[in-house]
Amino acid sequence: MSHEDLENYETEAELALYREYRDVVGLFQYVVETERRFYLCNKVDLQVKASGGDIYFEVTMADAWVWDVYRSARLVKNVRVVTFKDVNIEELARDDDLPDIRQLRGR
């Protein structure tokens, strides 16, 4: 496999991931960004913890979609992240006409 073939593969994989994101973003209520990942989810809880003078964050999410080009399954039931870095959480505008992810799982 040539360097150009590898670059083309990675570009196509990233484009497919973006298209998937565009298709599913309306199913979720929150966007969560950590230093390593980007998540969409319907439930999020952020806890600030302290240990030995250090502060860290524990984030738990339910019904999540993970932005990761190399994951075979991006929809996960529960996620737990522990980090010393910044965590950003945003609530998305909700379109009431779109189905909820929990309804889709029941199909």
Return the H-helix or E-strand segment holding 11.
Answer: helix 3-24
Highest-scoring range by mean pLDDT, 1-10, 58-67, 89-98: 58-67
Structure tokens at 87: 């965590």
Q: Per the domain annotation, does 56 fall within a domain?
A: yes
Q: Per the domain annotation, does 107 fall within a domain?
A: no
Share of the chain above pLDDT 70, in %: 87
Taking only the tens place, the pLDDT of each residue in 54-66 is: 999 999 999 999 9
Q: Per the domain annotation, does 88 fall within a domain?
A: yes
- Contact indicator for 39, 79 with CB cutoff of 8 Å: yes
Q: At CA 76, angle to CA 72 and CA 80, rounded to 5?
A: 115
Amino acid letter, residue 9: Y
pTM over 0.95: no
Stronger pLDDT, 62 or 2, i.e. the higher one: 62
Alpha-carbon torsion (38, 31, 7, 13), positive or negative: positive
Q: Range of 86's domain?
A: 3-93
Alpha-carbon torsion (38, 31, 66, 5), positive or negative: negative
Taking only the tens place, the pLDDT of each residue in 7-45 is: 888 888 889 889 989 999 999 999 999 999 999 999 999
The residue-averaged pLDDT of 71-93 equals 93
Q: Per the domain annotation, does 70 fall within a domain?
A: yes
Overall number of domains in the chain: 1
Q: Per the domain annotation, does 99 fall within a domain?
A: no
Predicted confidence (pLDDT) at residue 3 exceeds the cutoff of 90? no
Q: Per the domain annotation, does 101 fall within a domain?
A: no
Predicted confidence (pLDDT) at residue 96 exceeds the cutoff of 90? no
Q: Per the domain annotation, does 24 fall within a domain?
A: yes
Q: Per the domain annotation, does 33 fall within a domain?
A: yes
Distance separating alpha carbons of residues 26 and 100, to the nearest angstrom: 9
What value does the mean pLDDT of the chain take?
88
